[in-house]
Chain A
Amino acid sequence: KAGVTQTPRYLIKTRGQQVTLSCSPISGHRSVSWYQQTPGQGLQFLFEYFSETQRNKGNFPGRFSGRQFSNSRSEMNVSTLELGDSALYLCASSFVAVSSYNEQFFGPGTRLTVL
């Protein structure tokens, strides 16, 4: 069974630009969660989608948004990039909603650098 895939793996953008990251969950998984990981703050929850609906949202500004498609693939968008958005963005999938307890399977991440 293929694991979680994320594209692109690396991305360099400049301040003010917009970026879209993509995540394909494990086949059959309906929940996709997004996290931002930085050395100082660790892994911080962005949002979770389950069956195309946002189930939970972390404490991030509205510049961060996402969506999930009918095939469970998910995209995350960050608009008006700031230097502080430089981070590793991890996607995780699980069979059911995370809040119902479920082991999450993480993708390799997208390393975003904002210059």
Chain B
Amino acid sequence: GQNIDQPTEMTATEGAIVQINCTYQTSGFNGLFWYQQHAGEAPTFLSYNVLDGLEEKGRFSSFLSRSKGYSYLLLKELQMKDSASYLCAVPLVFGKGTRLSVIA
């Protein structure tokens, strides 16, 4: 079977850096995704990792370690608009999401 674990909630300060962790167990591996979902809206794609290492995309970076079944999403220079749920996913299986609150 497949299982994904991530923290339920996190709070961080505007301008700071936050790391959202994700651990997964899968029977096969075809890559790991991160999606952002603002309240009342649909999820939108943020990043994809299929090889070990760090993928950087502007203020957002995502890291993957396949041997450890571990990934994280790093958000830098936090802005109020980054307050949202962040979903870790392998194809067809999503974590329950980490609700990030950015405070002033």
Contacts and interface: CB of A to CB of B under 8 A. Distances in A.
B100 to A, nearest CB: 15
Interface stretch (A11-19, A60-68, A71-79, A99-107): A99-107
**What class of interface size applies to chain A in its complex with B?**
20 to 34
Given A42-B95, A56-B92, A101 B48 contact: yes
A85 to B, nearest CB: 19
Contact of A48 (B33, B41, B89, B92): B92
Interface string B42-78: 1111001010000000000000000000000000000
Given A101-B48, A106-B42, A42 B91 contact: no
Given A41-B96, A42-B97, A103-B48, A98 B42 contact: no
B50 A101 contact: yes
Given A43-B87, A100-B30, A101-B48, A106 B43 contact: yes
A50 interface: no
A91 to B, nearest CB: 9
Interface string A21-35: 000000000000101
A90 B96 CA distance: 15
Interface of A: 4, 33, 35, 41-45, 48, 56, 58, 90, 98-101, 103-109
Given A35-B94, A101-B48, A101-B50, 9 more contacts: A4-B42, A41-B96, A43-B97, A45-B93, A45-B94, A56-B92, A98-B91, A103-B48, A105-B45
